[in-house]
Amino acid sequence: MRTITLADHAGFCFGVGQAVERTAAEMEKAQLRGSKLYCLGSLIHNKAVTRAFGEKGMVTVRSLEEVPPGAFVLIRAHGEPPETFQEAARKDLTLIDATCPFVSKIHHLAAEAASGQRRVVIVGDPSHPEVIGITGWAGARAITVNDPGDAEAAALLLKDQPVTVVAQTTITGEKFQACVDRIRSYTEDLIVYDTICQATKQRQDAALELAGKSDMMVVIGDRTSSNSQKLVEICEKVCKTVLFVENLDDLPLQEVEKYCKIGVAAGASAPERIIKEVIATMSEDFTKDLQAEETNEMSAFMDEIEKSLRLPGRGEVITGEVVQVTDDYIVINLGCKKDGILPKSEMVLEDEQNLTALFKEGDEIQAKVIKSDDGDGNILLSKKKLQSGVHWDEITAALDSKEIVNATVVKEVKGGVIATYKEVSGFIPMSQLADHYVESAAEYVGKTLPVKVTRVDQRRNKAVFSHKAFLNEEKYKKIAEIWQTLNVGDVVEGKVMRFTDYGAFVDIGGLDGLLHISEISWGKLKHPQEALEIGQIINVKILSMNEEKGKISLGLKQNAPEPWSVIDDNYAEGNVISGKVVQIKEYGAFVELEPGLDGLVHISEVAHKRVNKISEELTIGQMVQAKVLEIDRERRRISLSIKETLDPNAPQPESYEEEPVEAPEEAVAEAEEAVITEAPVEETAEAVEPAEAAAEEAEEEPEEEAVGSDTPSLKNLKKAELAAFAEEKGIELPAKATNAEMIQIIETALE
């Protein structure tokens, strides 16, 4: 049993498809103008496609010298150097730029590097039209390398110079990386742009995977196509038998007969029609009779009998001999057991023309089968339906070129609608009517929609259209254009579209970027909706871009200075500020001065009285006034005092003589965590010291009475000082004792 598998990502890529569609549209405009359309170089690397456009009137030229002044000239997907555009301006030519967006991006990168006095290295085939175009944008000092050996030689010339590397879109990633590694060993100032087209990578990976599972690989593509040649090279690494064919004529069917598992890959310029023809021809239905012996006379006679018994099916085009002509119909011998009837109503006739004057017995005539039985035992034929075959050819051509056609929706049916293109009727599934869910197709009846042809079966009079494919393609074009206009560091306007727990998605003109919750404000947020609203228009900064993954990271807080960077402009020691209590700990309270900037009010600075429990004096969210005692810029710490703003002579509640609150080791860790949390991520390591200082201050709460007249106040001593005092007095302390435990042991020993 033979299996034939088509690799993923086979056929036209985005750039080629766009160029073909653009060319088809410009050909129509040229016909309306009554002028010619010139193409500078072969449109794509596929003879069948370029021949088809040539038959429609497109003229392919090698240089602009062959083009008359004032003409319309198409720039193909490979792109052109700047000199081409300058020469076109001198000759007053109208250029239609169908350069692939991904190639245009390489032009921009190369030109930008050259303007910055960087040497540009292009990894690719120097004779390929795409590389020739890139070289023009990269400047006179650009170097092209085609393999690691070339790269080694070039690297010696570029030693210690600033170098920017770009790649031809269709080369293999393996070759590109090998060349980059050689260059990297000779220069430190190296910028590498992996500009291999993602579609090319996907196509090569899919071909390699399929080749490893197949007995034989068939690669379909033009022999001048670089990406098709690369597919052959890749497949030959893992598959012993690889055939490179341009079309059905190149396919050796006798060779195909030997294999059961056949894989098929296709280059970026291979039309879908040719791919389908090759696959269909390799199937067992087409090849199983190749080795049949030559038929003898009896076999031929039996074939004739079988042919006479077989009736042509509906939609089949037949050729027969006229055996009778009347004013109303023509009888035609079809070589089978039934005659064909061609009514006058199924003919295209001029006014007052009659059948007897146009046809006679013995004439050969061609028509299409409408019914295999008209009720009287005859086969009903039509010349009108045959002429509609011209429109079927147009539909088939649109399928190959991925051209957009306009179809009019005529009625709603189960699962979709029927739409007509001239005399061809096609089906648009409900899922292909729009790029969103459609509940009822009735609103589309009577409308003319731009559609792409996704399937054609002329024998069964079936065609399938998709309006969604057109809409998606337009959206992708717009997105590709947007990517070209954005750069890291740009500040752009965006609209808040939706929230998640980790951030907000912002529409920046057709693309969604992620505004992470940590990039919204310099302060802490629990949820984005604390600072933003759905539909809000904001200015955001582009922090990073990954076009391959379609991801953009945005920042909002970057539009305002980081609070500590302008601390001297807004705060000074001695200032009285207003702030909100945001955290309460045993050793003090954190007060938010502004988002991203907190100060610590030590428990001893809350009131003029002794405070044993800070939560009895302050609450989370409370607005307070405090005086700035100290600003430690190095450690990013602000010390505040509430009691300094209070009247010391005001009546105070009775003081408590209870033991002051100690800050155990757990409090140290908690203080560290609190300060680290309040500081920006970059300053985490530096924030630990203020945390320890805050915890130590909590431990340093003064005590009014001393152990003895010659003994210092133990409450004022730090842990190291307590240990030294105990050693001096010959008092042994546990290794991991807290301050409170150490004081208790010392006091007991002294008593």
Specify the residue for token string 């042991």.
745
Q: Where does residue 80 rank: exposed (0-12), middle (13-18), buried (19+ CB within 10 A)?
A: buried
- The candidate with the shortest Cα–Cα distance to 370, out of 380, 361, 356, 378, is 380
- The candidate with the shortest Cα–Cα distance to 433, out of 464, 393, 389, is 464
DSSP character string of 577-621: EEEEEEEEETTEEEEEEETTEEEEEEGGGS-SS--S-GGGT--TT
Query: Are residues 218 and 258 in contact, defined by beta-carbon separation less than 8 angstroms?
Result: no
Question: In 10 A of CB 597, how many CB atoms?
Answer: 22
Distance CA 113, CA 725 (A): 69
Q: What is the H or E stretch that residue 748 is in? A: helix 739-750
The torsion angles phi and psi of 663, rounded to 5 degrees, stand at -105, 95
Active-site pick, 21, 80, 130, 246: 130
Beta strands in 81-159 (DSSP E): 94-97, 119-123, 143-145
Q: Alpha-carbon dihedral of residues 469, 471, 477, 478, nearest 10 degrees?
A: -160
Sheet holding 37-40, edge to edge: 59-61, 37-40, 72-75, 94-97
Q: Which two tokens stand for residue 599?
A: 């100060």
Query: Are residues 731 and 745 in contact, defined by beta-carbon separation less than 8 angstroms?
Result: yes
Distance CA 328, CA 637 (A): 104
Q: Residue 210 is which amino acid?
A: L
Q: Residue 205 is which amino acid?
A: D
Q: Residue 190 is which amino acid?
A: L
Distance CA 457, CA 424 (A): 11
Integer angstrom CA distances of residue 140 from 71, 78, 144: 30, 20, 11
The torsion angles phi and psi of 469, rounded to 5 degrees, stand at -60, -40
The torsion angles phi and psi of 73, rounded to 5 degrees, stand at -125, 130
Sorted by sequence, the CB contacts under 8 Å of residue 727 that are 6+ apart come out as: none
Sorted by sequence, the CB contacts under 8 Å of residue 28 that are 6+ apart come out as: none
Buried-state track 112-131, b at ≥16 Cβ within 10 A, e below 16? ebbeeebbbbbbbbeebbbb
The torsion angles phi and psi of 9, rounded to 5 degrees, stand at 60, 35
Question: Is 662 part of the annotated catalytic residue set?
Answer: no
3-state secondary structure 138-165: HCCCCEEECCHHHHHHHHHHCCCCCEEE
Question: In 10 A of CB 552, how many CB atoms?
Answer: 24
Active site residues: 130
